[in-house]
């Protein structure tokens, strides 16, 4: 995947029949959006008059992570299944991260993503939860783990340094520039056990 920089670009692939659940999920991702861990893209963000295919293909090619919001409507959609999902599955070999998110119960046997670990845990669909906020919180936590793990792996020397939501002293802040183990942020340079201020 190469060197990643915050915010990581996240593409949401979904059926329009699941728009309300998609919007509910986005609310639970707002913490990571505000912390500049991730930047979302979905087709509701396209402007009137723009080329649908051009905008979607551009966003698909630029994203680091693809969220596939799975339901019977998603599997029944030729565009979701044959255009977006199959392209993302093919791009996994180039390092793109693909995460199936189970919105509603559906038979996944034989689908290209059947072997991928999905969210929420244990493939329990969001609609099966008594409280959907519990499901969405589980999904958001899982995505945060994936984002932090991907970022750590992309930076030499970061593999064993846990990232924290509050960007601790040893954690590169999303808006920081990381170079040779030092963190440049504003008028400060943080590295190891010392801090230099102008």
Domain containing residue 116: CATH number:
3.40.50.10140
Domain check: are 172 and 89 in the same one? no
Domain check: are 151 and 175 in the same one? no
Q: What is the mean pLDDT of the chain?
A: 82
Domain check: are 84 and 18 in the same one? yes
Domain check: are 159 and 170 in the same one? no
Domain check: are 135 and 189 in the same one? no
Domain check: are 107 and 14 in the same one? yes
Q: pLDDT at residue 34 above 90?
A: yes
- What is the number of other CB atoms lying within 10 angstroms of the CB of residue 18? 23
Q: Is position 79 within any domain?
A: yes
Q: Is position 33 within any domain?
A: yes
Output the pLDDT for position 3: 65
Q: Is position 135 within any domain?
A: yes
Domain check: are 73 and 150 in the same one? yes
Least confident of 35-49, 88-102, 161-175: 161-175
Percent of the chain, pLDDT > 90? Answer: 64
For residue 85 the two structure tokens come to: 């999902």
d(C-alpha 46, C-alpha 56), whole Å:
9
Domain check: are 107 and 13 in the same one? yes
**Domain count across the chain:** 2
Least confident of 14-18, 27-31, 128-132, 178-182: 178-182
| Domain encompassing residue 133 | 8-163
Whole-model pTM over 0.85? no
Q: Is position 2 within any domain?
A: no
Q: Is position 3 within any domain?
A: no
Domain check: are 118 and 32 in the same one? yes
Reported as a single tens digit per residue, the pLDDT across 129-188 is 999 999 999 999 999 999 999 888 877 655 544 444 444 334 444 444 333 343 444 444
| Token pair 């170079």 in the structure block, residue | 179
Confidence of residue 193 (pLDDT cuts 50, 70, 90): very low
Q: What is the DSSP letter of 119?
A: B
Domain check: are 131 and 189 in the same one? no
Output the pLDDT for position 60: 93
Among the listed residues 148, 170, 171, 141, the one whose alpha carbon sits nearest the alpha carbon of residue 7: 148
Output the pLDDT for position 1: 54
Domain check: are 138 and 48 in the same one? yes
Output the pLDDT for position 47: 81
Question: Residue range 66-78: average pLDDT?
Answer: 97
Angle at 21 between CA 84 and CA 108, to 5 degrees: 50
Output the pLDDT for position 157: 57
Q: Is position 73 within any domain?
A: yes
């Amino acid at each position: 995947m190469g060197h990643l920089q915050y915010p990581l670009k996240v593409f949401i692939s979904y059926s329009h029949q699941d728009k309300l659940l998609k919007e509910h999920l986005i609310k639970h991702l707002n913490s990571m959006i505000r912390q500049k861990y991730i930047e979302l893209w979905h087709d509701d963000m396209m402007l009137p008059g723009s080329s649908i295919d051009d905008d979607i293909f551009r966003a698909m090619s630029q994203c680091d992570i693809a969220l596939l919001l799975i339901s019977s409507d998603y599997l029944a959609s030729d565009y979701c299944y044959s255009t977006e999902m199959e392209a993302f599955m093919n791009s996994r070999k180039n390092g793109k991260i693909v995460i199936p998110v189970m919105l509603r119960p559906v038979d996944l046997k034989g689908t290209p993503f059947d072997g991928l670990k999905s969210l929420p845990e244990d493939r329990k669909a969001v609609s099966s939860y008594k409280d959907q906020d519990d499901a969405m919180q589980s999904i958001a936590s899982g995505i945060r783990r994936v984002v932090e793990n991907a970022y750590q792996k992309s930076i030499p020397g970061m593999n064993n340094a846990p990232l924290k939501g509050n960007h601790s002293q040893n954690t590169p802040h999303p808006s920081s520039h990381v170079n040779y183990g030092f963190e440049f942020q504003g008028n400060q340079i943080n590295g190891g056990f010392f801090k230099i201020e102008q």
